[in-house]
């Protein structure tokens, strides 16, 4: 059953993003003094007693967007209201009632939905007393809260629970998280909207339209997954202001918390430093990745797919194992197949190989080529091998002569293992250890 939706609505800078973060208990939305930071619908599951709802942050109603995206922002607000089972109408107790509050109130009066009025920034008892001035808006006495300090949080959650009594859902089940990253204007938001079948995030030719990371739960082919849209990245020396700084860090956090990454590459421009740095960070985090070459309809007459594969391998050689998908997100070309491929990579990253199979494969590889050692010294040996975790698959090799397992030989082992195990298209973590005395004694007794 779909979770009921709670939409947070209000004029700019009343603390909507801070309220979402406070209610959820972690930093989801970017919070910044600059008005208009939030543009898209940013959502998260919210625990309310024993049940769950989806809470959605929206942009400020009436914002004069600096990139002429005001209409897009307000369209997203109206989508959130239309989907909502409950609306939190947020006002600022410090500023008092403002003309834009009246405009928001007029919009909400025409909705056949319950509305909870929330007076934010009630940081002391005096402000709590003035919150009653908002009763004239027509939604009863406001719930006084300080999203910054957490005052009134429990009372507001209780009021939300009463308003949604009988409609709360179960905790959302864990599904694959698909992080979509890339430089500006690579087509990330367009891909999300194509998958969702609706204008779930704002798409514009203006660079930097997306500022936050936006989780979108999608059902495709009978399977659910979460697609995470992120802000477009540009060279660090060009990053300007707090908002863009936070956006970059949110994109990196998306890589860390997702299961599979789609690295979006704009086929109409050369691969650059941003693409290489993102690829490097993905490798550092041992994340399965698909190189999504987008806007292929505009580039396919200039180069073939195999030519482009060689071009990527030359510039990003450490991702040579990663599959490539050629897409045209605007037309939906190869988009569903890309998600299916991501599901396959997620399955690879979740796979386990028995200790017996690992040791058999290692013996084959060592027979093919063993690590070098000094003449007259005892040859290094892999004592035994075991897989200790998944996502990423992590294999520990207990070896004698640890110093002989040099970086070049470790890369050789890694490539050979990837070709012989069910991890051919994903990162594989190898850990080399000298066996302790107890482990070595136990192994000898077994032999």
Q: 176-349: what fold?
A: Rossmann fold (3.40.50)
pLDDT in tens, 260-287: 999 999 999 999 888 999 999 999 999 9
Q: For residue 345, is pLDDT > 90?
A: yes
Indicate the domain borders of the chain: 5-163, 176-349, 355-446
CA distance 92 to 102: 13
Q: For residue 107, is pLDDT > 60?
A: yes
Q: pLDDT value at position 414? A: 93
Q: pLDDT value at position 222? A: 84
pLDDT in tens, 392-413: 999 999 998 888 899 999 999 9
CA distance 23 to 90: 13
Question: Would you give the end-to-end CA distance of the chain in angstroms?
Answer: 55
> How much is the average pLDDT of 129-152?
87
Q: 435 versus 46: which is more confidently predicted? A: 46
Q: pLDDT value at position 212? A: 58
The edge-to-edge listing of strands for the beta sheet with 51-57 is 42-48, 51-57, 5-9, 86-92, 115-120, 143-144
Question: Smallest Cα–Cα separation from 312: which of 261, 270, 268, 251?
Answer: 270
In this structure, what token pair is assigned to residue 267?
Answer: 């086929």
Q: For residue 35, is pLDDT > 50?
A: no
> pLDDT-derived band of residue 59, with 50, 70 and 90 as boundaries?
confident
In this structure, what token pair is assigned to residue 420?
Answer: 């012989």
In this structure, what token pair is assigned to residue 160?
Answer: 């939300």
118 phi and psi, to 5 degrees?
A: -125, 115
Q: pLDDT value at position 310? A: 94
Determine what percent of the chain is predicted with pLDDT higher than 70: 84
Our CA dihedral for 200, 206, 211, 216, rounded to 10 degrees, sits at 20
Question: Smallest Cα–Cα separation from 428: which of 293, 263, 338, 318?
Answer: 318
CA distance 214 to 210: 9
- CATH code for the domain defined by 355-446: 3.30.300.20
Q: For residue 68, is pLDDT > 70?
A: no
Q: For residue 240, is pLDDT > 60?
A: no
CA distance 365 to 397: 13
Q: Compute the half-sphere exposure of residue 100: CA atoms within 13 Å on the CB side of its CA.
A: 16
HEC profile of the chain: CCCCEEEEECCCCCCHHHHHHHHHCCCCCCCCCCCCCCCCCEEEEEEECCEEEEEEECCCCCCCCCCCCHHHHHHHHHHHHHHCCEEEEEEECCCCCCHHHHHHHHHHHCCCCCEEEEEECCCCHHHHHHHHHHHHHCCCCCEECECCCCECHHHHHHHHHHHCCCCCECCCCCCEEEEEEEECCCCHHHHHHHHHCCCCCCCCCCCCCCCCCEEEEEEECCEEEEEEECCCECCHHHCCHHHHHHHHHHHHHHHHHCCEEEEEEECCCCCCHHHHHHHHHHHHCCCCEEEEEECHHHCCCCCCHHHHHHHHHHHCHHHCCCCEEECECCCCECHHHHHHHHHHHHHHHCCCCCHHHHHHHHHHHHHHCCCCCCCCCCCCEEEEEEEEECCCCEEEEEEECHHHCCHHHHHHHHHHHHHHCCCCCCCCEEEEECCCHHHHHHHHHHC
pTM (predicted TM-score): 0.80
Q: For residue 121, is pLDDT > 60?
A: yes
> How much is the average pLDDT of 295-300?
91
In this structure, what token pair is assigned to residue 36?
Answer: 């208009």
Q: pLDDT value at position 23? A: 94
pLDDT in tens, 187-206: 888 898 899 888 777 555 55
In this structure, what token pair is assigned to residue 295?
Answer: 């806007």
> pLDDT-derived band of residue 34, with 50, 70 and 90 as boundaries?
very low
Q: pLDDT value at position 217? A: 86
> How much is the average pLDDT of 229-233?
74
Residues 6+ apart with CB under 8 A from 145: 19, 22, 118, 119, 120, 122, 151, 152, 153, 155, 156
- CATH of 5-163 given 3.40.50.2300, 3.30.200.20, 3.30.365.10, 3.40.50.300: 3.40.50.300
Q: For residue 236, is pLDDT > 70?
A: no
Q: What sign has the CA pseudo-torsion 227, 228, 231, 234?
A: negative
> pLDDT-derived band of residue 213, with 50, 70 and 90 as boundaries?
low
> How much is the average pLDDT of 225-233?
81
Max Cα distance, the chain (Å): 92
246 phi and psi, to 5 degrees?
A: -65, -35
Q: pLDDT value at position 351? A: 95
Q: 419 versus 133: which is more confidently predicted? A: 419
Q: pLDDT value at position 438? A: 58
Domains 176-349 and 355-446 share a fold: no
Distance, CA of 284 to chain centre: 16
> pLDDT-derived band of residue 416, with 50, 70 and 90 as boundaries?
very high
């Amino acid at each position: 059953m779909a979770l009921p939706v709670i939409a947070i609505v209000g004029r700019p800078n009343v603390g909507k993003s801070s309220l979402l973060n406070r209610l959820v208990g972690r930093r989801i939305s970017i919070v910044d003094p600059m008005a208009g930071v939030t543009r898209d619908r940013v959502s998260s599951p919210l625990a309310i007693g024993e049940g769950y709802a989806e809470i959605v942050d929206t942009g400020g109603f009436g914002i004069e967007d600096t990139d002429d995206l005001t209409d897009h922002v307000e369209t997203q607000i109206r989508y959130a209201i239309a989907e909502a089972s409950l609306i939190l109408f947020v006002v600022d107790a410090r500023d008092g009632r403002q003309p834009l509050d009246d405009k928001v109130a007029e919009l909400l009066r025409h909705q056949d939905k319950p509305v909870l009025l929330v007076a934010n920034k009630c940081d002391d008892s005096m402000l709590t007393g003035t919150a009653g001035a908002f009763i004239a808006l027509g939604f009863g006495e406001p719930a006084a809260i300080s999203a910054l300090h957490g005052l009134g949080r429990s009372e507001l959650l209780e009021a939300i629970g009463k308003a949604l009594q009988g409609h709360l859902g179960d905790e959302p089940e864990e599904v694959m998280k698909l992080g979509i990253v890339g430089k500006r204007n690579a087509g990330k938001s367009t891909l999300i909207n194509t998958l969702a079948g609706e204008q779930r995030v704002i798409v514009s030719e203006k660079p930097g339209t997306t500022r936050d990371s936006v989780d979108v739960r999608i059902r495709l082919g009978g399977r659910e997954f979460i697609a995470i849209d992120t802000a477009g990245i540009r060279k660090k020396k060009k990053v300007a202001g707090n908002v863009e700084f936070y956006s970059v860090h949110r994109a990196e956090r998306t890589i860390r918390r997702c299961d599979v990454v789609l690295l979006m590459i704009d086929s109409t421009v050369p691969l650059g430093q941003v693409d290489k740095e993102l690829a490097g960070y993905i490798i550092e985090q041992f994340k399965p990745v698909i190189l999504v070459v987008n806007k292929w309809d505009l580039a396919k007459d200039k180069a073939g797919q195999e030519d482009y594969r060689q071009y990527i391998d030359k510039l990003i050689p450490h991702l040579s194992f990663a599959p490539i998908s050629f897409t045209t997100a605007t037309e939906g070309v190869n988009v569903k197949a890309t998600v299916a491929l991501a599901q396959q990579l997620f399955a690879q990253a979740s796979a386990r190989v028995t200790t017996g199979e690992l040791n058999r494969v290692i013996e084959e590889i060592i027979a093919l080529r063993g690590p070098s050692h000094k003449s007259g010294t005892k040859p290094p040996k892999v004592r035994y091998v075991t897989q200790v975790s998944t996502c990423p698959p992590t294999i520990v090799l207990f070896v004698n002569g640890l110093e002989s397992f040099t970086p070049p030989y470790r890369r050789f082992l890694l490539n050979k293992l990837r070709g012989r195990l069910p991890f051919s298209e994903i990162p594989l973590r190898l850990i080399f250890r000298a066996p302790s005395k107890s482990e070595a004694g136990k192994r000898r007794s077994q032999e």
